[in-house]
Structure 1
Amino acid sequence: MRPVVLALGFALLPAMAFAQTAPGAPRDADAGRFTLRETPDGLLRLDGRTGQISLCNRQDGAFTCRLVADDRAALQAEIDRLKAENDALKRGGASALSRPGTDGQGLNLPSDQEVDRALSLAERIWRRFMGIMRETEQDQGRRL
């Protein structure tokens, strides 16, 4: 029974070490702030308030933690860029993005003349295709 109690005590020791707060700080404010997960390399500590992840190891009888590299800064920059683009769209509609220099990239939309020309071409192709289909049906009817 004693080895079981010792093993349980050693298993809980790292959690108790991380659960301690700074002297004078209220314990309730930090309750549940950190989440610990055991890994083959040590303990991962997730800060529930900031989202930072640290890898903690025991060295010389004390735990040391170092931040784990992540793409949080790059993701936050992309989120900020998308928010700014969204705000620009809400304020000025699609014209806000069609102007070069708004975001470093402008939409190159066709003019009304280019759209009319493309539709006219599509209509001519469709009419010619339908004419070929009618001729084919007439040829089929003559052969029967």
Structure 2
Amino acid sequence: MRPVTSSTTSWLALAAFAAAMAIGGDLEAAQSTPDSENGRYSMAPIPEGVLRLDTRTGTVSTCTKNGIGWACYAVPDERTALDAEIGRLQAEVERLKGQLAAGPTVSGKIDEALPKSDPLKKAEPKGAEGERKIEIPLPSDQDVDRVMSFLERAWRRLIDMANRVQKDVSGKI
């Protein structure tokens, strides 16, 4: 593969010019084609027009013919976008490192130890700790009588039911 020289780029420019003429450009359009600036640009025909490479900066552009003349638009470069994002992130990292170096900004943090007892807990007399009693109220005699009468009625109904089932079964056999 041989290196690209100015004569090679001139031939490419001439080929691009011929392609533009063959596509349907008239003499006026041919005179307004993108300037090659003494070999700075390398051009290649594409279906939409001409692909232009700037050999000094490396940017790629697509050049198309419109009603007024030729217009070239730079092809988006992913590397430029990535470099911009990397630069933004590096600046943010430096800013955050500066904040960390400035000192702690945590609110409410203290250097002294917390007390071992709870200051909000109510103080109880020392004698009351050993004498804790839980009092459960006992039912009255009236409550006990009501429960007993309920249990007696339930028991009687259960016995009556068992007797009826026994009569029904013995009568069918």
Same fold (TM over 0.5): no
TM range (shorter): 0.3 to 0.5
- More strand, by proportion: 1
Q: Which has the higher contact order (CA 8 A, sep 6+)?
A: 2
User: Who wins on radius of gyration, i.e. which is larger?
Assistant: 2
TM-score normalised over the length of structure 2: 0.30
